Amino acid sequence: MIIVKTREEIEIMRESALVVSKTLGMLASEVKPGVTTLYLDKLAEDFIRAEGAIPGFLGLYDFPNTLCMSPNAQVVHGIPNKTPLKEGDIISIDCGALKNGFYGDHAYTFAVGEIADDVKKLLDVTKQSLYEGIRNFKAGNRVGDVGYAIQKYTEDRGYGVVRELVGHGLGRTMHEDPEMPNYGKRGRGKKFTEGMVVAIEPMTNLGTHKIRQHSDGWTITTLDNKPSAHFEHDVAIVNGKPELLSTFKYVHDALGIVSNEEDEFRQ
């Protein structure tokens, strides 16, 4: 069942999303060679609590930490550990926060120092595919329109779209209907209406789209061990159009990136 939100609820959800946006922005300055993902996890937990929110993943389905930290070939759901990041790594940081009864949930994949050109391109294509998806999240469109847009953009450039993990509706629970696959057919699936809020989150592999699950029950890596990237935004339908609730502004500020790519999704 899809739970649509009122304008008031959407504004509350914007606050929850912004807690995560600011957390990712704080982490952006801390991601560097030699730092462990467990250290970053602790920073994030303290930051989220100081914002008057609760880490959204900690304890959810028994996940042990605040952040899902997935380096290199790990796709998503990596558990923070004591292995230091090294120059040339990429690290997907997925973060959730619960504030005023609503969840925020978004993710960014960071470069650790200088990374290879092909990996840089993977990050760029994954991020752009997210905006292709968001552009299609509007009243009257369907779930398949978003999936199609992401898949087409990604596969046209030769990358693999992960099938087994999907975006989702977001609200008083972390995962609501509808499921939002990053692949699909135009005009298929549930129809989008005013007040829907979803997390759109392409997971894109440099090589094969196939993945495997590790014995820890969480970590997922690419089958060919090539890198995988992940970007996620929270989006509402307001006045029939996509309205971004989360923002990469804080990350961009920390990294010195000038970008206007979110402008079209603000009313």
Which listed range, 41-49, 93-101, 118-126, 130-138, lies at the site for Mg ion (CB under 5 A)?
93-101
Nearer to Mg ion, 9 or 105 (CB): 105
DSSP 31-84: --TT-BHHHHHHHHHHHHHHTT-EESSTTGGG--SSEEEEETTEEE-PPP-SPB
Torsional sign, CA 181, 13, 131, 32? negative
**DSSP3 helix / strand / coil % (the chain, rounded to 5):** 30, 25, 45
Interacting positions 232-251 with Mg ion (CB under 5 A): 232
Residue 232 CB, nearest approach to Mg ion (Å): 5
Residue 144 CB, nearest approach to Mg ion (Å): 19
Which listed range, 4-12, 30-38, 86-94, 121-129, lies at the site for Mg ion (CB under 5 A)?
86-94
| Sheet containing strand 203-205, strands side by side | 160-161, 203-205, 228-230
| Cα 98 to Cα 17, 20, 38, distances in angstroms | 9, 9, 21
Residue 197 CB, nearest approach to Mg ion (Å): 12
Q: Does 94 bind Mg ion (CB under 5 A)?
A: yes
Q: How far apart (Å, rounded) are the C-alpha atoms in residues 239 and 243?
A: 9
Q: Does 176 bind Mg ion (CB under 5 A)?
A: no
Residue 180 CB, nearest approach to Mg ion (Å): 9
Which listed range, 25-33, 97-105, 152-160, 190-198, lies at the site for Mg ion (CB under 5 A)?
97-105
Interacting positions 193-212 with Mg ion (CB under 5 A): 199
Question: What residues make contact with Mg ion under the rule CB under 5 A?
Answer: 94, 105, 107, 199, 232
